Structure 1
Amino acid sequence: MRRVRYESPGGPLFLEDTPAPEPGPGELLVRTEAVGLTLPVVRKVTEAAEPVPLGGEIAGEVVALGDGVTRFEAGQRVTGLCFGHGYADFAILHEAMASPVPEAASAVEAVALVRSGLVALGALEAARPERGEAVLVTAAASGVGHLAVQLARLRGAARVVGAVSDPAKADFVRSLGADDVILYTDDNWGDPVDCILDAVGGDLLTTAIAALAPDGRLVAYSSGGGTIQAYDLLVGAKSVIGFQMARIARGRPELYERWRLELWRLFTEGALRPAVHGEFALEDAARAHEVIESRRNLGKVVLRP
């Protein structure tokens, strides 16, 4: 099979031929039809001390089962987050991270909707927004962010604000239902908001905390790190909540399943529209990474093995 990898931090991505992996206990071997790229994996290529497997959201057909798998069978279409080598013709998916794909959905729609949508929905649930509150979403044009904007509106937010790095993304974010679009560099982020879903982190956290109304909540699900001053939270009794999807998938499978069904219901009804920025062949993985690194993407970036 073909697989994309690299040999040194920051090194070029290249295709290699290698035997298909064998599924271990509790694992599925999937013939990949689509791979959704994620910013944390793209960052690891340049930031990790040693080369790491290029994982991500995969969708495809189950071709083999490891011992102990009970929820899936060969020939079934699934999607989920692959922590091993995902940029490949075949990939390993742990049963706990896998979800079935409805017949009416394509593999590309699955990788654009499910994992990113689960993060967006989970972060929104963690923020505990009440109907009529204002919600701000950073990285609002990203694979997760563009779904979070729509979900915030569907959940009854009175005002939805999208924060982006480039004014060229404003029309796209407004088309998703955002009332306002701001730039990270704006001096004034407008009226305070009750909830912020943050996928950026870093120095932006200080500005985001300042944009919260009293009793406001910021949900951090970014791999970008950052530091928050306790005093900034004490003033106004603000809160910061960390959210990680993997903990839900492994520790609360019933909640993971409920959220997954909710996403597919909204998709089937036409209420939730996953956007795909572009589809790239495996040999063009470096170009796909460059789109994400330059923050040009509007929606999900997908590889098609």
Structure 2
Amino acid sequence: MLRIRHEVNGGPEVLFAEEVDRPEAGPGELLVRAEAIGVTLPTVRKVHEGSGPVPFGGEIAGTVAATGAGVTGFAVGDRVTGLCFADAYAEYAVLNAAFATAVPDDATAVDAVALVRSGLVARGAFEAGRVRPGESVLVTAAAGAVGTLALQLARAGGAGRVVAAVGSAEKAGFVRALGADEVVLYEDADWGAPYDVILDGVGGELLGPAVRALAMGGRLVAFSSGGGTVEAYELLVRGASMIGFQMRAIALGRPDLYARWQRELWEQRAAGTLRTTVHEEIPLAEAARAHAVIEDRRNRGKVVLIP
């Protein structure tokens, strides 16, 4: 089977395709014949930040080809999606059954990778921010896969003012169409502050401006892999708080909540209150091009690899 790997750190040029044996499903695992693979910013960043070869994790969607010992609730032939933490960029991938969810008959594999993982992160960040009806919400990386869904969830969740923060003015019309009342650029002086809640999917140097844009008692939810530091004094003078959110902790520690959020995402999609956006479908063998799109911040919605 075809698999995409890399051996040294650097840019997208270090990715290469190789032919390897098909993996096997271990206890509690599903072997999935992939039909669509989501590209995530954390995976792209790891190529540069890791000290050695990094397995390409990501969302996958496809058909169950085999089940491991102890698996219940799934059978060969089922259509599933979920987050794979190792070697997701492949024609067959191993998925922990705890991270798997069934794909409805009316959804494609591309729909699934654009909705589930990104939607779960967006939903989790929104819940972590404890957004109350009428409050103002700012979403950074608003044109990305998670950001596009976070905007819609904030609007549906009763936020009084929903603002999208993006890196270029060319994305303004795109995020407005998804429910943003206003659009600000990262380079703007005050981001149209203050905000009751900021959902930050960028991190790094943007954490400082994000904290300074908080209202008194505001909450900053950090869910990116971008790192960064915050001055405690900036939180203190605003009586504000910073909350870290990680989806894996919910999946492993609160499987009931994880399953409910998955179910509700599909229900919202079916009702038309939540829609996914796909920037481009790219052949698996051209994974380097997909990484370049993410690194250059050109994507508007999800970037998907097709085996």
- So what's the TM-score if we normalise by structure 2? 0.98
Match of 2:84 among 79, 82, 85: 82
Displacement after TM superposition at 1:191 (Å) = 3.5
Q: 3-state DSSP class of the match of 1:203?
A: helix
Where does the alignment leave 5 or more consecutive residues of structure 1 unmatched?
none
Displacement after TM superposition at 1:262 (Å) = 1.0
Where does the alignment leave 5 or more consecutive residues of structure 2 unmatched?
none
Instruction: Map 1:236-275 onto structure 2 (within 5 A).
Output: 236-275=238-277
Q: Name the counterpart of 1:224.
A: 226
Q: Name the counterpart of 1:48.
A: 50
Q: Name the counterpart of 1:9.
A: 9
Displacement after TM superposition at 1:103 (Å) = 0.7
Q: Name the counterpart of 2:71.
A: 69
Distance in 1, Cα, partners of 2:190 & 2:84: 40
Distance in 2, Cα, partners of 1:8 & 1:224: 21
Q: 3-state DSSP class of the match of 1:144?
A: helix
Q: Does 1:145 align with 2:150?
A: no
Match of 2:100 among 98, 101, 106: 98
Displacement after TM superposition at 1:71 (Å) = 2.1
Which residue identity is paired with 2:164?
Answer: G
Distance in 2, Cα, partners of 1:278 & 1:237: 42
Encode CA deviations 1:32-84: one digit per residue, 9 max, x unaligned: 00001000101111221101111100000011011111121111111110011
Distance in 2, Cα, partners of 1:249 & 1:182: 33
Distance in 2, Cα, partners of 1:96 & 1:214: 39
RMSD: 0.8
Distance in 2, Cα, partners of 1:212 & 1:24: 46
Following TM superposition, the consecutive aligned residue runs of length 4 or more in structure 1 with deviations greater than 6 angstroms are none
Q: Does 1:169 align with 2:167?
A: no
Displacement after TM superposition at 1:9 (Å) = 1.1
Distance in 2, Cα, partners of 1:109 & 1:150: 16
Tell me if the contact between 2:190 and 2:209 (Cα under 8 Å) persists in the aligned partners: no
Distance in 2, Cα, partners of 1:203 & 1:283: 33
- So what's the TM-score if we normalise by structure 1? 0.99
Displacement after TM superposition at 1:31 (Å) = 0.2
Number of matched pairs: 305
- Identical counterparts, % of pairs: 63
